[in-house]
Structure 1
Amino acid sequence: MHSFISRSLLFIFAIGAVAGIEANAQQTREVQNAREAVNKVLEDSGKHFRDGLTALKANRRQDSGLNFDKSVEVFLSSAINIQTDGRLQTCYNQLLETVYRIEFPTAAKQPQIRSLAASCGWQWNDVDLGLADEVTALVAQMKTADASAAQSQVPNDELIGFNSQEFEPSPLDELSKLELLPEELEIEGNPEASQQYQYIQYAVSNRSLGFSFQVHPMIQQYINYYRGRGRRTMEVGLYRSGMFMSMARMIFRQEGIPENVAWLGQVESAWKPSAMSHMAASGLWQFIPGTGARFGLRRTAHVDERNSFDEATRASARYLRFLFNRYNNWELALAAYNCGEGNVDRAIRRAGSANFWAAYPFLPRETRNYVPNILATILI
């Protein structure tokens, strides 16, 4: 009897041990697979970044820009949540900073390419590190050439920028065609949307966003859109904003504009410096030539400051300040930024009220989509 019980216990223990071993093995495989997925993202990003350096050194500026974009997009297209992995988060943040410093060089802050390679764990050899040093020196020359161009207006085209004047479509062109679906228009029948709409009302009434505006259901409807079929557009723009948003906030603050209004860049260009609309609006802040000139942006055969960062961002903030002082209303100021003061003034006259939602039916279609889109983006 005791022998039978002993054998039974041994059998049970053996089964438990085997199950434990299998569970541990499964856990080990999952950890290994996760580690390999992270390594693949880092490796692919590093390859594209190095190709970008090679192209920049060879003065293939458009190829360089495309490869730098791909090095960032590897993170965006991955199924891994960057925020949950320390290595990915560190590499991604430093990659954004480095690409920004290459595209917009300053004497004070040079791109730290060697440091980036180390943070991302790229196994670079002496040739790769030498390439990094050459590009760092080249970027310093770009800044010197850019300063000379600003004075002489005859720049050395071999040195300025890593992107040629190949422009990307502006998101504003798609915005003018956007029609919300019935499920995106639904608020009361959607518990999550209804609760979020109540939060919006609370946030605006408490001025926690830094400025006030009139709450309208359409703002929540655009949030519904970005939670669904517009999610990818929003995510790509939010990730790209890492290169620009902190500096845009600083400039807006210096110019007396609420920092959150800088999210206008998300809707205007999805933070793409080379964005151009069918109306010839260009750059992160989508200035048409005439408005750009009004606010100090030079445009010659060689230099177009609408595609700069510092100058164009400051001009955008000053234009917004001018518009707010004109209308004393942020919705109308944003509308005028999109379609011009003349269109907004006519819409106000037809509505008989200096209120965006009253003037809404009389504004261009793109502008009707534009203002609630920006407010939704700020709230997201």
Structure 2
Amino acid sequence: MNLRRIRKPFVMCLALAAAAGVGEAKKPKQKFIKAFVPPASAPPPPAPEIPQPPIDPAFFAKEMPRELSGPIPVHQSQVEIDMRISGSLEHFKAGSALMAKGSMELARTEFDRAVELLIGAPEPAPGRDRLIKRYRELADEIYRLESEATTGSTAEGGPVFDKAPLEEITDMTFPVEPGLKGKVKEQISSTVSQLPLETADPVISFINYFNSPNGRKVFEAGLRRMGRYGPMIRRILDEEGLPQELIFLAQAESGFMPRAVSYMQAVGMWQFVQFRGREYGLNQTQHYDDRLDPEKATRAAARHLRDLYAQFGDWYLAVAAYNCGPVAVERAVQRTGYADFWEMYKRNVLPRETASYVPIILAMTIMAKNPKDYGLTGIVQDPPIEYDTITVTAATHLNLIADIVDRPLSLLKELNPAILWQVAPANYAVHVPKGMGRAAQAVLESIPATHRTDWRMHRVTEGESLASISQQYRVTEQALLAANPNSSSDSKGLDLRKGDLILVPACYPGAAPDQTVRRISGKRTVASRTLRAKTSSRPAAKKPAGTTTGSRGTPSSRTTTRTALPASARR
């Protein structure tokens, strides 16, 4: 009974399972569809091949792009400016040569033409700034030549020197402007300086002075001249491992005038006295004084400052010792017991000039490093002085070298301020314009050593002959032939061509009594108007040194007063 009941439901389950399997087998299988993939397109039929037509290699031989089919356009104004500058230089050279020969009227005519070419360009011409720059340079060069001729400085007289500006400034006292100290304190907080900067009252008072009309003229004149020697000074300070701000010692000492001289007989851009100069290798003879050489004096000053810092361990004390000497600073330290400049200042144990010297340096540094705050951004610095150096193997007149390089004597004197009497002694290193050293050395070696102080060099111009040159220098044709035995010649004498250099056995102007310069009267010329604008407020016979009158009416660093170097300083 029980087995029958169990077997019956089991059979029914099997039957149901079989029926379900049969129904499932009858369903058709569904194909897998990729709904997210687009159907593949049929590949396009291959394109028929088209044969390339034959190309003639010479087909484009005579063709040219449209941009190059005509002449390359050149801005006519640029060409005109180049021609004007070139023509002006030619007239200036001609005027310089005429002035060296004593033909003042003809020289001024050439100078007028040189100036007229520069100022006659149309106003809106592109590149006019080049004309303006060249005009300023030309005006300065003409002024130097005129000044030399007027004062007779080309004569074999003694050297002249500029008055050091520091003497006038240190004797003055200036108020402290209310509110300026806070302004300066903010400036110092954002100023990067290797030399420590302070806001002490003496520093603020000198900032106030240099920001006044008189003081600004002194300061700006020095900043302009800094352009001539700044790159050289910064290079040497860097090589000696010194703060770059020490460049302002030269501005305070001399206003960057290589021939500055003080009442204490300190000489040169860095104001060395005799014994200190010799201590650092600055030789002094009757022919030259190395204290006047900007590069040699800068090297000596850097090493002296380095030694002073090693001695005192403080830049303020080192700068003070540079001014009054290390012995004076040592005594001040012993008297006060403080190795601190400001304590010495308060106790009045330093010389008066030294007490003002350090604040002056700091004031100049702060103002120069913050030009916008003091209205100094518009100052145009002079171009840097660059030169080659040659060694003369025999005593040589600077005028002879000027003739060889075809530059005015004033430029050679500016490049060689250490030469006292216009004659470089044997084995002396002479500076010549950049790029002319090798050629000048070669020409000098071809001149007899015994005649390099009294013979001249003449550059032949168009149309000149042996007869005209002999008349110009008042020598015979036979003397010219004898002085130039290696020059090409023919049956008529020397075969002269434009640009040739020939020796002339004649002395340079200056020693002869008939080399008196006469002023031109009558019509005012362009060059004379240019020079008159420069000299309207000072004697025509003196060249500006570059500073102004101090607040007490005494000449300061822009004065034209010049002092002959005392005999004791030349020994």
> Which TM-score bucket, shorter chain as reference?
0.5 to 0.7
Rounded Cα–Cα distance in structure 2 between residues aligned with 1:89 and 1:358: 51
- What amino acid is the match of 1:175? I
1:235–1:340 CA distance, 2 compared to 1 (3 A):
same
Q: Is the CA contact 1:213–1:330 (under 8 Å) kept in the aligned structure 2?
A: no
Structure 2 contact 198–362 (Cα < 8 Å) conserved: no
Aligned to 1:69: none
In terms of fraction of residues, the more helix-rich structure is: 1
Gap runs ≥5 in structure 2: 1-84, 103-127, 146-153, 368-571
CA RMSD of aligned residues (A): 3.5
* Distance across 1 between alignment mates of 2:359 and 2:307: 21
The secondary structure found in structure 2 opposite 1:265 is helix
- Give runs of aligned pairs for residues 16-27 of structure 1, distance below 5 A: none
1:178 and 2:161 matched: no
Paired position in structure 2 for 1:262: 247
Match of 1:367 in 2: 354
Shift of 1:203: 4.1
**SS, match of residue 244 in structure 1:** helix
Q: Is the 8 A contact 1:347 1:363 kept in 2?
A: yes
Give the 3-state SS of the residue equivalent to 1:280 in structure 2.
coil
CA contact (8 A) 1:250 1:259 kept: no
Alpha-carbon offset, residue 175 of structure 1: 2.7
Match of 1:241 among 226, 229, 250: 226
User: Is contact 1:213–1:331 with CA below 8 Å preserved after alignment?
Assistant: no
Q: Shift of residue 270 of structure 1?
A: 0.6
Q: 2:289 matched to which residue of 1?
A: 304
Aligned partner of residue 165 in structure 1, secondary structure: coil
8 Å Cα contact 1:350-1:359 kept in structure 2: no
| Matched pairs, number | 240
CA separation of 1:51 and 1:264: change in aligned 2, threshold 3 A: farther
Q: Give the 3 Å change call, closer, same or farther, for CA 214–376 of structure 1 in structure 2.
A: closer
Are 2:150 and 1:166 equivalent residues in the alignment? no
1:295 aligned partner: 280
Contact 2:226 2:256 in 1 (8 A): yes
1:227 Cα deviation from its structure 2 partner: 0.5
**Deviation (angstroms), 1:283:** 0.4
Matches within 5 A, 1:62-81: none
Uncovered stretches (5+) of structure 1, i.e. residues with no partner: 1-41, 60-84, 96-116, 125-130, 132-157
Contact 1:260-1:378 within 8 A present in 2 as well: yes
**CA 1:222–1:90 in structure 2 vs 1: closer, same or farther (change >3 Å)?**
same
Change (3 A) 1:259 1:51: farther
Q: 1:231 to 1:320 in 2, by over 3 A?
A: same
- Between the aligned partners of 2:320 and 2:240, the Cα distance in structure 1 is 20
**Larger Cα Rg: Structure 1 or Structure 2?**
2
Q: Is the 8 A contact 2:188 2:366 kept in 1?
A: no
Is the Cα contact below 8 Å between 2:164 and 2:261 reproduced in 1? yes
Matches within 5 A, 1:36-55: 53=96
Which digits, 9 at most, give the CA deviation of each residue in 1:171-205, with x for residues without a partner? 1221332221x3xx22xx23xx244322244146x
Q: Which amino acid aligns with 1:223?
A: I
Question: Residues of 1 paired with 2:362 and 2:95: CA distance?
Answer: 36
Which of these residues, 209, 213, 219, is aligned with residue 225 of structure 1?
209
2:364 corresponding residue in structure 1: 377
Quick one: which of 316, 323, 329 aligns to 1:331?
Answer: 316
- The question of 1:277 aligning with 2:262 is answered yes
Distance 1:218 1:273, change over 3 A: same
1:370 is matched by which residue type in structure 2? Y
